[in-house]
Amino acid sequence: MRAIRSFLDGLYRVSAFLAAACLMAILAVIVLQMGARWFGIAFPGSSEYAGYLMAAASFLAFAHALNSGSHIRVSLLLTALGRHRFWGELWAYSIGSAASAYMAWYAVKMVRVSLRFHDVSQGQDATPLWIVQLPVAFGAILLAIAFIDNLISIVATGSDNIRHQVVEGAHGDDAEILGRTEG
């Protein structure tokens, strides 16, 4: 079981690094676009490439963000459920698993259709769409795996795989906001 956990966590981490690489590539495209404008050189499709990279970065980061506790969760509602929290989390992971699996299925279908019809982008770049849709489909598949992974984990062990990150000093800030003082 540890081998599977290590493999999945590694896969989520690699996907996050790929997302970061996409963000760096967006920066490179924007800098090249600015340089091209300054020198009067045409850079067709640069805006489209930045958009493709943004979609890839978003989808590639989803699974890692889920397991890092970065997604917006309904913790307040789950806490309010008290001893029934398990059922709330089970419901949430079931819905998340179904929705992300449905999205992944359609993302893969979109790639297959684009390949079949040799679909290209409408911009001047005429990039084959399956190339830019592939990272989105991969990220959607990883998100579905992450949700299903958490669903199985909560059923088997009673807890999910999400690492809850606490920002330093957050409790002090919350106390100030709520008008409470320490001591």
Strand stretches in the chain, DSSP E = none
Rounded (10°) angle between helices 46-67 and 129-157 = 10
What DSSP designation does 123 have?
S
pLDDT band at 172 (very low <50, low <70, confident <90, very high): very low
pLDDT tens digits, one per residue of 140-169: 999 999 999 999 999 998 888 887 654 444
Cα–Cα distance for residue pair 72/129, rounded to 1 Å: 31
Mean pLDDT of 1-21: 93
State the pLDDT at residue 179: 43
Question: Which parts of 132-172 are beta strand (E)?
Answer: none
pLDDT at 170 over 50: no
Looking at the predicted structure, is the pLDDT value of residue 182 above 70? no
- Beta-carbon contacts of 25 under 8 Å, excluding residues fewer than 6 positions away, are 53
Judge whether 67 and 162 are in contact, CB under 8 Å: yes
pLDDT in tens, 81-115: 888 888 988 999 999 999 999 999 999 999 999 99
Give domain limits for the chain: 2-177
Q: For residue 73, is pLDDT > 80? A: no
Please give the pLDDT value at position 134. 96
In this predicted structure, what is the pLDDT of residue 47? 87
Distance from C-alpha of 45 to C-alpha of 40, rounded to nearest angstrom: 15
Q: Are the C-beta atoms of 147 and 140 separated by less than 8 Å? A: no
pLDDT tens digits, 20-49? 999 999 999 999 999 999 999 988 888 889
